[in-house]
Chain A
Amino acid sequence: MNHSINLLEPDEIRYLSAAESNPLYKMVGAGVLVAVFAGVALYYFSLKATISNAEDLSNRWNAIEADVESAKLLSDKRQRLEKGLQTLNGWKASRVNYNELMTFVVNQIPVSLETIQISRLEVSETMQGLRKQTPSSKKANFHPLKRSIRLSLRGTVQSTSPERLLSQFQRNLTGAEAPVEFESVQLDRYTQLRDENGDITDRTTFAFSIRLVPQEVMP
């Protein structure tokens, strides 16, 4: 049984708040304050450093902006040129030396050049394997492209046996070692010419088709 007699008056007694009575609350409060202060200080200094860095970068950018633009333009130009060079190098692989080819064809004519007249030479070429694509300077799609060349040769020959002569010309073209490989040599047609009376003359028109073996265009 408690018989304590408290001789203090109620107004002489002061109960503390939780923060006053428990030092832990004070420590937590102080800790929070310190943390907030430290956080703000850290943020301030971090912000200050960031601003300083940004100013440095801005000044440096202002100083080199013109050079950077110029360098960018040069870089783009270089890329375009490299692309062009690449294309040219690719086409170079399929290049045909027509001078040598024509000389070879003429050399295979089995009669005197006085009795033959080449009236038309037509070179036509097509690309095999070409697919539709979106052009792009950055992304180039290369395909196994092949360059197919066809020579059409027309002329008139003076001979009493034109069929034999033209067959010999065809054999010469296919048999001899050509500067470029022929895929086929074909006598498309020949026609003996008639005079005004309708009689057959010793002149015959002919047409040859020579297909070169397709050359792959290297990228």
Chain B
Amino acid sequence: MAGKQQRKTQKITDVLGMDFGTTSTKLVRLRKTAGKLSLVDADVMPSFDLESLPKDTRISVPKKLNAPYAAASFTSKESHVRFMFISNKLTDQKSIRQRVGKSIGLGREFRVGFSMVEKGKDDVDHKVLTAAIPESHVQSLRGLMPHHHPSLLSLEISGLSALNSFSHTPAVQEAEGIVCYLEAGAASLFISFFLNGTLKLVRKFDHGSLYIQQRIQDVLNINEDDALTVLFEDASPIMDQGIETINAMVQELSISCKFVERNESSHISTIYASGGLSYSPYWAYIIEEVMGAQVQVWNPFEENGIKNYPKGVRGVESMFSPAIGAALSVM
């Protein structure tokens, strides 16, 4: 509580956004001056395996990225995201929290949080976005942080923190029709739908680029390098043969799309994608086939007014979406 009171008087303007991904750790240091965002620096570090982290392991933040505060995001197969509908008779935070905890059905070993997306009125239930991660992961991540500096202010699930770099922009707020946002990393895929600037649905699938790459290897009986070539460069070997590699996931995506389109009586007009898979022509083709709209790669830097960023980031901007979103959530 004391922390919250202090937060009201303290303006956070210099934050290190950290995304602990499956294959790498992305770092961005954002600074806000006179309402304008700027990027101090960005970097990519090796990933950390939270399941088998050696004791006393701490992240060594490069000096240029060492902001006073940090906001982290991470994802794992054990993390959960649910879009829930709960009774509007629950009005206080405590009772909503209890209901969310019960509905998600996870034990005490999980840390559960929620965000009210839309308050229910009359016969309409509350729409609540819920997230949960294993308590052990929370402690592992907290333990990774340096002792004093930067001080960790926030911990989110990557797919949701990426939404923070997206949901407030004109791409969402001024769009006509349903806007779909996909955060597609190595391990997971998050799909979100917005209509008139309001979040309508979020789902998490544990089928990221690693899964698709393995499927390509298996189906075509090729090695990892060749599979990566198919996934990120030339998909003709698999397209020519008309082989479906991710049928199950495609079906799930299709169901989600139809659910939103039917519920909102609208159609998907725009698709934005971020994360490593957003640079895969093969994956983009599949998504476009399912949703009937062209996939645009999301640039979280330029869309948030950050015009200058390092050359090393150019071409892979969308992979920094969760890190940027994490930083923006506390600024």
Contacts from A to B (Cβ < 8 Å): 1-8, 10-16, 20-22
Contacts and interface: CB of A to CB of B under 8 A. Distances in A.
Contact of A8 (B130, B148, B155): B155
Contacts of B154: 4, 6, 8, 13
Contacts of A22: 68
Question: Top 4 closest A-B pairs, CB basis?
Answer: A21-B68, A4-B329, A5-B113, A5-B131
A6 to B, nearest CB: 5
Interface string B150-166: 01111111001101100
Given A1-B199, A2-B329, A3-B129, A14 B115 contact: no
A13 B153 contact: yes
B161 to A, nearest CB: 7
Contacts of A16: 68-69, 149, 151
Contacts of B153: 6, 8, 13, 15
Contact of B113 (A1, A2, A6, A20): A6
A7 B133 contact: yes
Interface residues of B, number: 40
Given A21-B14, A22-B68, 6 more contacts: A2-B167, A5-B114, A5-B130, A7-B156, A13-B153, A13-B154
A1 B197 contact: yes
Nearest to B197: A1
A22 B68 CA distance: 7
Contacts of B152: 8, 12-13
Contacts of A2: 164, 167-168, 329
A6 B329 contact: yes
B157 A5 contact: yes
Interface string B1-36: 101101100100010000000000000000000000
A5 B115 contact: yes
A21 B155 contact: no
Contacts of A7: 111, 113, 131, 133, 138, 155-157
B24 to A, nearest CB: 21
Given A4-B160, A5-B156, A10 B3 contact: yes
